[in-house]
Amino acid sequence: MMEELPKIQELKCRIEYINKLESLEDINQYLEDKDYLVYIITLSGISFGEFRNYQFKLIEDITKLDRLEELRIFDKERELHIWRQSDGKGGSVLKGRLRIDNPIEEAAQCYYRDAKQLLFGTKRESLQNGFTFLKEDRGFGVIIPNSLLSELKDNPRLYLCTRNYLEEWDNGQLSYCDSRFISIEGVNND
């Protein structure tokens, strides 16, 4: 029997582009005062963390923005995605995109498909300040806040849940145009 293909769904969404991010405090104007997960790439590595009460809880201090390469602050309704891009003058600038699903304000109709990606790591190694390194025997792994350990339950694996957006071309064909992180779960219910 063939596996059923994931269904394409529709919702309203709003996108706002950010031309230049000057400081970490600038982030607050794009987010509500609630709990978010964080995905971060710095010069020293990749990890997950939390953003609560407009404060980061990360394994690494990012007050110096020059170490930041990519940042995603996300929950089930929104994602603030920030990335480093060349400024064309030998330097770089932080740019961004805010995407909100089902906003209260007026929004455009969007097509999407949700997916889950398996994250590396089955063995736990405790780290400082409430973080755990989930690693594989061959060395790959991911750093997560301990709050995500409850997601593991009886399953030693975590899944990154993503929403993949599609746009309609002039010929009626749908093509992927954007994606965002939604959540991290411990059980693959697909």
pLDDT at 187: 66
Which residue has 């779960």 as its token pair? 185
- For residue 158, count CB atoms less than 10 angstroms from its CB and return exposed for 0-12, middle for 13-18, buried for 19 or more: buried
pLDDT at 160: 95
| Residue 189 in this model has a pLDDT that exceeds 60 | no
CA–CA dist 58, 84 (Å, integer): 19
Range of the domain at 32: 9-185
User: How distant, in Å, are the alpha carbons of 28, 41, 93, 97, 163 from that of 87?
Assistant: 24, 19, 6, 17, 29
Q: Is residue 25 part of a domain?
A: yes
Q: Is residue 190 part of a domain?
A: no
Q: State the average pLDDT over residues 60-76.
A: 89
State phi, psi for 148 to the nearest 5 degrees: -80, -10
- pLDDT-wise least confident of 36-45, 93-102, 144-153, 164-173: 144-153
Q: Is residue 4 part of a domain?
A: no
Q: Is residue 2 part of a domain?
A: no
Q: Is residue 3 part of a domain?
A: no
What is the total count of domains within the chain?
A: 1
Nearest by Cα to 181 from 41, 63, 21, 86: 41
What is the rounded average pLDDT for all residues in the chain? 89
Q: State the average pLDDT over residues 36-62.
A: 91
